[in-house]
Each structure stands twice: as C-alpha cells, then as structure tokens.
Structure 1
C-alpha cells in the first residue's frame, strides 16, 4: 500500500494535544522518535504504561523484597533513561505505575501471569483483565478530558502482550471519541523474526485487532537524530541492537520510498464505513 506524508496531510493544530502511548520505557522513542522530533512545538504527551516497580514479595521472614527476573533492568534505572530522552527533545511525559507483564500477578492465585519469556508473546491472559480495565479507566481520564486529541498507539507488531493490550485499550478510547493513529512497532517491524517470530507484519497485527487497513502514512527519519535519542536508553541498546552500528542498521532498514521512515496507520472495522479523515492542513493560497 502506498503511503502519504503524515506531516503534510494532518493539521496538528486541530488537536488540543497529541498523545503517544508507549507500552514500555522506550517504545515511543523507538517507534516515534522521528515524529517526536518533528512535533517539537506541538503540544505532545508521551504516556508510558508499564513503568512501575514490580510488586514486592514477602520473604519467609516477613521482609519485603523485589522479585528478580533474570536479564531485566530495574524500572528505576529505565525511568531515569526515559526522563533523559524526553528532556532531550522537550517532550512532556507521564510514567504510569503499572508493572511490566513479566511482573504482573493473578488476583486469583497470586502467581505470575506470564511466567516465561515465551509467554509474553501471546494474547492477553484472562487473569490480566483487571489490569486492562484499570488501565482503560485511567487513560480515559488522562486522554479524553483534554479536548480533541490525536491518540497514537502501537499496532502490536511482534505480538508482545503489553503492546497488544495498549492497542486494544486505544481502540476503546477511539470509540469514546479520540482520533486514533497506529504506529508500526520498532524494532519488530525492521526484523520480522523478532518478538514472537514467524514474520509478523502490519497486516497480521491489524487482523489480530479485527481491523482492515485504512490509510498509511510516513514520517522521514533523521538517522543521526534518532540515534542520539535512543542512546539515552543505555540499558536497552545492547539488548535490542547489540551495538551502535546495529542500531544504525536497524533504523536504516525500516524504509519507505528509499529512505528511513517511521510508518503509521489509520484502520477501520471490517465492513464499516470509512472513518472520517483526520483534519487536513489548510492549503495556503499565494497572495
């Protein structure tokens, strides 16, 4: 599907604010770093959902301790990285206190809902419903009380459960009045075998949400600028890319029309009438 220029076609002045939903403490920068740079001067809010500390556990002696999960960095460290990144581009941000999927526990059994790395790449578990509902209610207050907003949500490429939940809640917010735009999840979209594997792609992610493609948009990426932003996530770059060169290669691999770009989607329910187009930029007439 051909794409149109997001920055040329959407009139951002028609919105009270652009709200970018970030499942974790790097997703907005990873997938929307180019958009964030372009929107400097436009009222923009990045809301990170899973940025809270893991719920403490009681040891046998009654003391409280944080549950270790091998290979995962303390949320405190990751919050500091994200704060530095957001400050570097003058972006407003909110860190919600929900824990990452790897730390969430069932209200029925008190056991971890997603007990292994493999279980994070699945549909949301029924034991996560309470979290989903609480998240929905909180985001309604944050987003829908602002006036007209453009809500920017992950599409769920890679099939990470926290990305899927974010997309589903975003759809509910759109039904309540938000104008919704999906972003292609990076770096999963640049490496289709990452995440759950199996060559995931935008069409498959839309199908999981029971949506059909509407309109596709692109935002050109300044590779050096995006790399400067992502370098703030010191704990994540080696995990995601291996090295600085690996990060550059991944950013340059996500292309449209021969240049590095970030990609965004409008979508519709199957058989539904096309959603109204977002406000277009006014055409300036020569004097």
Structure 2
C-alpha cells in the first residue's frame, strides 16, 4: 500500500475524475489509514511504499503490478500522467528482492489482472492491452481468461469484478460485453451478482482474504449477499479516494507467495 500524502484530482483519465471538484488530502489519508489498520487487525502484513510528489494516483497500489509465486510482472500505464509510478514501484520490488519483469504492452497490474486458484481473469477494453494477457500467461504459467469491459465507468476489471476465494467471484454483468458475460456465467455459475447501484459505489472494488471482504459501506445489497454466502463483510469508507476512481481494492496490491490450491470452507449464515 502507498499512503495518499500527495492525493489530488488534477487531471482526468477516467469518468470519475473531475479536477474542478475539491479534494481533501488529509481526509483521504485518514480513510486510507483506517483501511490499512483494519487489514493489520485481521492479521495481514502491510508493506508501505513511500509516496512520491507529483504522483497523486500512486495510492492505487493495485495497479503497480501482478505478483504470483513471488514473481512480479510490473505495470506499464496507458496514460502518461501515471508513468512515473512505474520506476517508483519497480525500485521498491527490487530493493525487497522480488524478481521483476517489465511489461512489453500496456498492463495496469491488478487493476486488470485478477488471479484466482486456477487462472488469471484479465480485463481489456479501456486500459490493459489484450496482448498483455498472453504475456502474463507466459510469465506466470497460468491460463488467462480475457474479459472485455464495455462501460467506461468500469474502466478496470477490479471495478467490475472481485475474486472472493478460490474460484469464487462477484461481478456486475453490465460492465462486460455479451460474450464475456456468457463466459463468466459458464465459469462461475454460482457467482454473486451485483446490481448497478452497488457497482456504482465501487462495491466490487473489494479486498477479500477468503473470509473477510472489505468493501464500501454504501454497497448494501452486496453486503447482504456476501453474508448469506458465508463471508464476513466489513464496511469501509473511502469516499474521498472514489473521486479519483478508486476504493479498497485499488489501494492494495497482494504480494502472493503462491496461489491457493484448495477452497476454504465456510458455513452460510
């Protein structure tokens, strides 16, 4: 994670960003720190990457890379406003002993690459180049499933879909092309489906450890669905960061040492 010490909305690279609207960097930092503290309280280790001036979106650490089995496929951003984040995060990985491969095509990390137990779900349509999907498959040795995003308000896969546990997901069908909707129904017939209202408050931009799911407090229907499925939803407020088009998942990049091989057992409540 990276604290939003330099957070602001000074440019617009997605429909959520309106530079004319005021932002509150101290409030963003308070909300971010509450998220970090909650993850720590749940037993997770949180490594903090130092923020750099002039990179207001560096807080969205999930976009920096994809990490599986301790190997890093580093991001290559589509928009030049974010390109300065690339060397910042790559330097951190190198300093901490992670082998890093630089992306050959536009690839916005876990924004569009969501590993599950058996595969990588990969988004394209607005940010990540579809050719980056084959690159990820080659680097990690996992099958990659391409999903086409069609709504600019859901410009990254992690705004429209969340991996909850080994081969369990939730998603908003309206964010995807008809073919991708059909593919998701085939692969995940028991997935939790979000309605437009919960998707619009970034309810799918959630962090799950297979038991607890941290998601925006305003995603009330998803919260009910998660609880019914045996998960423990935890409400978080990241309303200030939403002004830049990000929420809980955007703020955290998972440093996977390995992918899960078995599904955790939960009893529905």
When normalised by structure 2's length, the TM-score is 0.35
Structure number with greater Rg is: 1
When normalised by structure 1's length, the TM-score is 0.33
